[in-house]
Amino acid sequence: MTKKIALFPGSFDPITNAHIDIITRAASLFDEIHIAIGLNSAKTPLFTVEQRLAMLKKIFATSESVKVASYTGLTISYCQQIQANYILRGLRNATDFDFENAIAQNNLQLAPTIETVFFLSSPGYGHISSTVVRDILKNKGSISHLVPKEVLAYI
């Protein structure tokens, strides 16, 4: 049987408890989940790609079905490279939906066999974003309730 492989693409700058929640919930649906940092020259990250990869590797060190990587170029091209037939994305609100809807439809036209699967935020996670975490950090606030403990080592 073909393995069900899902790609969870994102910036993960840094990874938050909401990302972890989505990965945990998706784990029972797929044989493998590849968390991949999309390298996007339009965004200036707070954490380097090396730091973000190191955080992800530490968090998922004992999860055999979770792989960690970075990629450049189209997300669907990377899916084809790793033989992923699913893209995971999270939805917090209608703004996320509008943005993700357009991307998912374009991806479907480019690669009709790759389905995007959406997870709504779990109760209590909808207010978390990497942007908010970075803003709190820049203003010297505490983020320990928003991110896994492995992220705290990089502050």
Contact between 25 and 102 under an 8 Å Cβ cutoff? The reply is no
Q: Which of 67, 92, 121, 134 is catalytic?
A: 92
Compare residues 71 and 125 and give the one whose CB is closer to ligand ADP.
125
Compare residues 84 and 128 and give the one whose CB is closer to ligand ADP.
128
Cα torsion for 32, 37, 38, 43, to the nearest 10°?
160
Reference 88, options 41, 128, 29; nearest CA is 29
DSSP state of 113: T
Return the half-sphere exposure (C-beta side, CA atoms, 13 A cut-off) of residue 99: 8
Helix pair angle (94-110, 75-82), 10° resolution: 60
Q: Which of 11, 19, 34, 52 is catalytic?
A: 19
In the list 90, 137, 146, 151, the residue contacting ligand ADP (rule: CB under 6 A) is: 90
Does residue 10 bind ligand ADP (CB under 6 A)? Answer: yes
| CB of 10 vs ligand ADP, minimal distance in Å | 3
What gap in Å lies between CA 87 and CA 22, rounded to an integer? 12
Is 52 annotated in the active site?
Answer: no
Does residue 121 bind ligand ADP (CB under 6 A)? Answer: yes
Q: Which of 3, 4, 43, 127 is catalytic?
A: 43
Is 92 annotated in the active site?
Answer: yes
Binding site for ligand ADP (CB under 6 A): 10-12, 18-19, 22, 89-90, 92, 96, 121, 125-126, 128-130
- Active-site residue numbers? 19, 43, 92, 130
